[in-house]
Amino acid sequence: MKKENIRIFRGKLRHLERELMGQLKQDNVCFGVTISQCHILVEVGNKEEISIVELASVLNLDTSTLSRAIDGLVNIGFVARKQNPNDRRYVSLSLTHQGKNLYTSIDNSNNSYLTQLFQFIPESKHDQVIESFQLFSEALKRIKDLDLCCAVVPENTKTERKT
């Protein structure tokens, strides 16, 4: 891809990130949970029951970081933890009744937002947008799996960290 197109694309990504993060923050403040907690609730709600290890993989987090976020959700009554009687290391998560209600609210809010958003995109382009996001998402996963991100840094752009 041409250098100029890369620069333009990076700008579009930054704009997309700011818009999405703004929307996430706005929605999550309304529901009283953080963005991290929202991601956990949605993933647990989508699966109905999920292990901490599987959830960590889906969210790309280490289990210790995830456990702290889960503790908060357990303490406020949105998530239930269940240990496997045959393997104490295997812990599964599910939503409580209160958590299911919150998950439904988050799900409905996101569906409504995206329905409104797609009204600004010609209907003939909807499938194209979805396919493009799918391709981009798959490419991100593939490059992450190769562990190449930021591996090549030109010498003249390296900076010393000040401590």
Question: What are the contacts of 57-66 at 24+ separation with CB within 8 A?
Answer: 60/144, 66/40
Whether the predicted pLDDT of 22 surpasses 50:
yes
pLDDT in tens, 95-104: 999 999 999 9
List residues bridging with 81 in a β-sheet.
93
Whether the predicted pLDDT of 16 surpasses 50:
yes
CA dihedral 64→38→24→7, nearest 10 degrees, is 40
Quote the mean pLDDT of the chain: 86
List residues bridging with 80 in a β-sheet.
94
Whether the predicted pLDDT of 6 surpasses 70:
yes
CATH class of 3-122: mainly alpha
Domain ranges of the chain: 3-122
Whether the predicted pLDDT of 149 surpasses 60:
no
Give the neighbor-by-neighbor strand order of the sheet with 87-95: 49-51, 87-95, 79-84
Which tops the pLDDT comparison, 114 or 122? Answer: 122
pLDDT in tens, 29-74: 568 888 888 889 999 999 989 999 899 999 988 888 898 999 999 9
At residue 163, the pLDDT reads 43
